[in-house]
């Protein structure tokens, strides 16, 4: 049997310190406490329960952990908890996990170190049973879980009979003639939500019907994610009824239905689980609400906890399930025929606009939202999607041969001068400067990306910059912070320079640091030149490097560029694969899965990263300005085919894209809008904090321009950047030194410039 002395030895502390940590008699430094708890878990030490109970018997503090302050249902549960416990002489301390597993773990450990009498938890990670077993059950800490029951763990639990409620609602709807019913719920790993899914499926089975699993939509339980998930995943045009498992989800669902012009309850029924209330003003008009009392649930959880506290040794964990009042009353709902989406009387070919789009989240969001635009205007938008490295060739191919295949197309901002010089994009200055268009709605920098020779050649569709994403939970972990400080003699923080970035990447790469929590420090995309060039440019610019001088003379082989490429080669030691084998999508997946600790990528991917981390329960993400504060100004504009005859329809679409509500929808759907409104909306900033950092990063961006000489042909930027990328290929694949590769490619760039009429270059 493991002793207290063995734990102390493993943790590198005294026996007295371990004793204080367990009893809470004296404060213990957080980093010491974590080390002791890790040793206890590793050695499987079980403390003397009776001794702990004697020491903690006098404690009158109960810790309560909720998910977030905005969940009104959980706030009502807390009111019930607080009222009951205070009435019985206990002090209540509440903490919020913000739906972050590592924050929840830290709050639980903080409460334990304060020697709380017990805990009441609404967990965001009920599947993390090892933590609950090792930190709470093994120490016989009285605790009650509410709503979300840890799987395969014998603990106190209080919740509602969600299976029975959902089964009753679905069965009632089926018996009344409803045959097209959807369920919108929270994550399936929450027991309360998995019970709803099981009740939904069983109700269909019990009526000899087959449930349509495509009509079960899971969300993160926020109204924003519910809006996005419902709009993307459910056939809203044909549904007769939707059941939502919380009022937050109901609000998001209602917004999606309204956007699709589905009226509740006229042509679709919406039923939601809801708190008991004496006032109708708290109910969503037209929505059928169940009736459950969160105050009562909080009181029941508190009563159960006090029983556990009063009898800590012989207490048998209990599961108390409450019944929703909805199952005691008939559902007064009647099926209706879903109304067809309102369309314009006719969609003539003259009102059909064909768009060539890059396959990005923003583009897909616009495609999804455009159905509403078509319903209200009669203008149909037909979309074709291509990867970004294929789009320019398609534009040149179709417009260069006057095929008029597309009326509008997305183009990368570095292509603008080339497109204008070759008459591939129309001047739309009269529309942009007209009375109906409000320039002040759009970021000035994004609009400037559409200007050539003082004329506007497009509308910005998305604009942003590169950001540095990092695992915030790791950067704030006390043990990791201490280890980093011991190695580098400086605090662990988001790196400000590329030297710091490489040092931090080394620390988080397991082959260099066996104790690293991640396998690699970072990753670099470069499977195409379009992806690799920005990775190289941000480092060249940070070191003061350039590709050509003010006289348009190529200057690749310079000391600044040598330093930049030396830094790049250093970075590649801490990546999982060669950049030539890595796409942007793969770098995002590496980071989101916990394989890497840091990532340089575009703000366009921020929502995807945050969602992936949350789904995989691995931590929190932070974002900062790039090391060196030199970011590539990225953006895609919508250009107009000079030969199109559909200008009026195109301008109507452009006006619609600049509406404030559409910019909100694009943001919630995971895209990025150049309209300023989402960046200043408090609700969206709370949910998507990277919006503030994206706006801040605009001050540090730099455009990827071609050399310019009046009355000279524009050199396509992709030809210049191909030469830049070739420097790295020759160093990595051919074994050239960095100066040799720079010199060889400087000669290639000299030939390229000369072929377009630029002077014979030399570099002093």
Token pair of 605 as six digits = 């991917």
pTM for the model: 0.81
Q: CATH top-level class for 351-465+635-686? A: alpha beta
14: cis peptide before it, omega within 30°? no
Average of per-residue pLDDT values in the chain:
88
CB 283, CB 289: distance < 8 Å: yes
Token pair of 204 as six digits = 């269909």
- CATH code for the structural domain at 467-632+704-755: 3.40.190.10
With cut-offs at 50, 70 and 90, classify the pLDDT of residue 214: confident
Which one-letter DSSP state was computed for residue 754? H
* Torsion sign over Cα 388, 394, 400, 406: negative
Token pair of 371 as six digits = 């159905």
With cut-offs at 50, 70 and 90, classify the pLDDT of residue 201: very high
With cut-offs at 50, 70 and 90, classify the pLDDT of residue 345: very low
Q: CATH top-level class for 72-83+141-341? A: alpha beta
d(CA 691, CA 467): 11
Which one-letter DSSP state was computed for residue 340? P
Query: Model confidence over 79-131: pLDDT tens digits?
Result: 999 999 999 999 999 999 988 888 898 899 888 878 889 999 999 999 888 88
Rg from Cα positions in the chain: 30
- Indicate where the chain has its CATH 3.40.50.2300 domain(s): 72-83+141-341
Among the residue ranges 35-44, 319-328, 574-583, 676-685, the one predicted with the least confidence is 35-44
Query: Model confidence over 608-640: pLDDT tens digits?
Result: 887 777 766 677 889 999 999 998 888 899 999
Helix (H, G, I), strand (E, B) or coil at 62: strand
With cut-offs at 50, 70 and 90, classify the pLDDT of residue 763: very low
- Indicate where the chain has its CATH 3.40.190.10 domain(s): 351-465+635-686, 467-632+704-755
State yes or no: pLDDT of 751 exceeds 90: yes
Rounded to the nearest 10 degrees, the angle between the axes of helix 361-377 and helix 647-657 is 120
State yes or no: pLDDT of 346 exceeds 90: no
pLDDT for res 53: 45
d(CA 656, CA 680): 20
With cut-offs at 50, 70 and 90, classify the pLDDT of residue 51: very low
d(CA 294, CA 325): 13
CB count in 10 Å sphere of residue 3: 11
The residue to which tokens 């050649």 are assigned: 457
State yes or no: pLDDT of 132 exceeds 70: yes
Residues in Cβ contact with 648 at an 8 Å cutoff, skipping those fewer than 6 apart? none
CB count in 10 Å sphere of residue 611: 15
β-strand pairing of 352-358 with 380-386: parallel
d(CA 175, CA 500): 66
pLDDT for res 313: 67
State yes or no: pLDDT of 52 exceeds 50: no
d(CA 183, CA 440): 41
Give the CA angle between residues 275, 277, 279 to the nearest 5°. Answer: 140
| Average confidence (pLDDT) over 641-657 | 94
DSSP letters, 604-625, are GGHHHHHHHHHHHT---EEEEP
d(CA 604, CA 615): 19
DSSP letters, 374-430, are HHHH--EEEEEEE-HHHHHHHHHHHHHTT----SEEEEEGGGHHHHHHTT-S---HH
Residue 434 burial by Cβ neighbours in a 10 Å radius (0-12, 13-18, 19+): exposed
H or E element that contains 506: helix 498-507
């Amino acid at each position: 049997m493991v002793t207290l002395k063995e734990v102390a030895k493993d943790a590198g502390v005294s026996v007295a310190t371990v004793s204080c940590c367990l009893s809470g008699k004296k404060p213990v430094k957080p980093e010491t406490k974590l080390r002791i708890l890790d040793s206890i878990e590793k050695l499987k030490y079980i403390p003397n329960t009776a001794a702990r109970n004697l020491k903690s018997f006098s404690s009158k503090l109960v810790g309560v952990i909720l998910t977030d302050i905005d969940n009104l249902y959980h706030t009502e549960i807390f009111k019930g908890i607080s009222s009951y416990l205070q009435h019985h002489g206990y002090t209540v301390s509440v903490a919020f996990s913000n739906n972050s597993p590592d924050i929840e773990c830290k709050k639980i450990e903080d409460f334990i170190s304060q020697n709380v009498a017990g805990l009441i938890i609404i967990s965001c990670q009920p599947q993390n049973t090892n933590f609950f077993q090792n930190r709470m059950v093994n120490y016989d800490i009285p605790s009650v879980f509410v709503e979300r029951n840890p799987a395969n763990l014998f603990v106190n639990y209080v919740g509602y009979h969600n299976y029975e409620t959902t089964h009753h609602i679905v069965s009632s709807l089926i018996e009344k003639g409803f045959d097209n019913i959807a369920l919108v719920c929270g994550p399936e790993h929450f027991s309360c939500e998995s019970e709803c899914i099981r009740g939904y499926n069983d109700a269909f089975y019990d009526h000899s019907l087959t449930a349509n699993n495509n009509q079960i939509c899971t969300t993160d339980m926020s109204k924003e994610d519910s809006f996005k998930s419902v709009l993307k995943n459910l056939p809203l045009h044909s549904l007769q009824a939707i059941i939502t498992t919380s009022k937050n989800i109901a609000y998001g669902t209602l917004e999606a239905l309204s956007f699709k012009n589905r009226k509740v309850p006229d042509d679709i029924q919406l039923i939601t689980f809801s708190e008991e209330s004496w006032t109708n003003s708290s109910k969503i008009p037209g929505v059928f609400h169940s009736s459950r009392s969160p105050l009562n649930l909080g009181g029941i959880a508190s009563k159960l906890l006090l029983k556990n506290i009063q009898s800590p040794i012989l207490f048998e964990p209990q599961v108390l399930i409450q019944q929703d009042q909805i199952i005691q009353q008939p559902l007064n709902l009647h099926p209706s025929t879903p109304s067809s989406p309102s369309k314009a009387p006719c969609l003539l070919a003259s009102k059909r606009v064909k768009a060539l789009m890059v396959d990005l989240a923003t583009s897909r969001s616009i495609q999804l939202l455009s159905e509403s635009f078509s319903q209200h205007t009669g203008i149909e938008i037909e979309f074709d999607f291509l990867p970004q490295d294929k789009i320019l060739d398609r534009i040149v191919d179709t417009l260069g041969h006057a095929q008029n295949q597309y009326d509008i197309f997305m183009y990368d901002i570095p292509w603008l001068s080339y497109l204008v010089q070759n008459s591939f994009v129309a001047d739309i200055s009269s529309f942009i400067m007209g009375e109906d268009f409000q320039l002040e709605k759009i970021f000035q920098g994004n609009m400037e990306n559409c200007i050539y020779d003082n004329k506007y050649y497009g509308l910005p569709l998305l604009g942003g910059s590169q950001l540095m994403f990092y695992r915030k939970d790791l950067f704030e972990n006390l043990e990791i912070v201490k280890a980093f400080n011991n190695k580098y003699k400086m605090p662990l923080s988001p790196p400000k320079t590329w030297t710091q970035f490489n040092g931090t990447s080394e620390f988080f790469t397991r082959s260099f640091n066996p104790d690293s929590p991640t396998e690699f420090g970072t990753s670099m995309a470069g499977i195409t030149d379009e992806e690799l060039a920005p990775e190289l440019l941000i480092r060249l610019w940070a070191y003061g490097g350039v590709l050509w001088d003010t006289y348009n003379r190529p200057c690749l082989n310079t000391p600044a560029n040598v330093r930049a490429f030396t830094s790049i080669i250093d970075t590649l030691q801490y990546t999982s694969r060669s950049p030539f084998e890595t796409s942007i999508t793969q770098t995002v997946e590496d980071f989101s899965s916990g394989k890497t600790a840091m990532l340089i990528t575009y703000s366009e991917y921020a929502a995807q990263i945050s969602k992936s981390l949350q789904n995989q329960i691995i931590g929190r993400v932070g974002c900062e300005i790039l090391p060196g504060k030199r970011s590539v100004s990225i953006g895609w504009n919508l250009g107009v085919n000079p030969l199109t005859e559909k200008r009026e329809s195109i301008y109507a679409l452009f006006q619609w894209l600049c509406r404030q509500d559409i910019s909100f929808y694009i943001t919630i759907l995971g895209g990025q809008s150049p309209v300023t409104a989402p960046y200043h909306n408090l609700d969206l900033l709370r949910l998507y904090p990277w919006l503030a950092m994206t706006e801040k990063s605009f001050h540090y961006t730099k455009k990827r321009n071609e050399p310019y000489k009046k009355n000279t042909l524009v050199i396509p930027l992709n030809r210049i950047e191909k030469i830049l990328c070739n420097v790295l290929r020759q160093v990595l694949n051919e074994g050239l030194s960095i100066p040799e590769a720079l010199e060889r490619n400087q000669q290639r760039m000299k030939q390229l410039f000369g072929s377009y009429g630029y002077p014979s270059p030399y570099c002093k």
